[in-house]
Amino acid sequence: ILEEPILYSYAKTTGQVITAPSKYLAIPNQSNTEKRISIKSYLLRRIYGIKGKSRLNPHILFSTMYEDLDMQPTKDDKKRNKSYIDSVLNYWKKEKFIKDYSFTKSGREYDGIMIQY
């Protein structure tokens, strides 16, 4: 490739490309599996959307995340994912990327996350 791809150039000039510091992706003491990278990247995009001009809803539903990532998690997977998401968001809170967060419930099940920015 001799020059930057035209679609990338267009996306960059219109502000559609997210550039995040690598420290937000390199969570200490956490292994990076394909699933975890997908979840972390999804949360990062959503939080930038919440904080950005588009002002997305700060309530992130797990069902929407799983649908967007094309995942069909089991009950055990959901527990592991919630634990992983908790550690990621705690790290981002410590790094002052977000102010705070809380898990939301629907009945007895956790159904999403409310982000405070």
Q: Do 107 and 86 contact (CB within 8 A), yes or no?
A: no
Confidence of residue 17 (pLDDT cuts 50, 70, 90): low
**Strands of the sheet with 109-116, listed across from one edge:** 59-61, 109-116, 100-106
Q: Do 18 and 48 contact (CB within 8 A), yes or no?
A: yes
Q: Which of helix, strand or coil describes residue 77?
A: helix
Confidence of residue 16 (pLDDT cuts 50, 70, 90): low
Dmax over CA atoms of the chain, in Å, equals: 56
Instruction: Please report, rounded to a whole number, the percentage of residues in the chain having pLDDT higher than 70.
Output: 91
What local confidence, expressed as pLDDT, does residue 23 receive?
Answer: 84
The string of pLDDT tens digits covering residues 60-115 is 999 999 999 999 999 999 999 999 999 999 999 999 999 999 999 999 999 999 99
- Long-range contacts of residues 27-30, Cβ cutoff 8 Å, at least 24 apart: 27/87, 27/88, 27/91, 28/91, 30/84, 30/87, 30/88
- 24 pLDDT more than 90: no
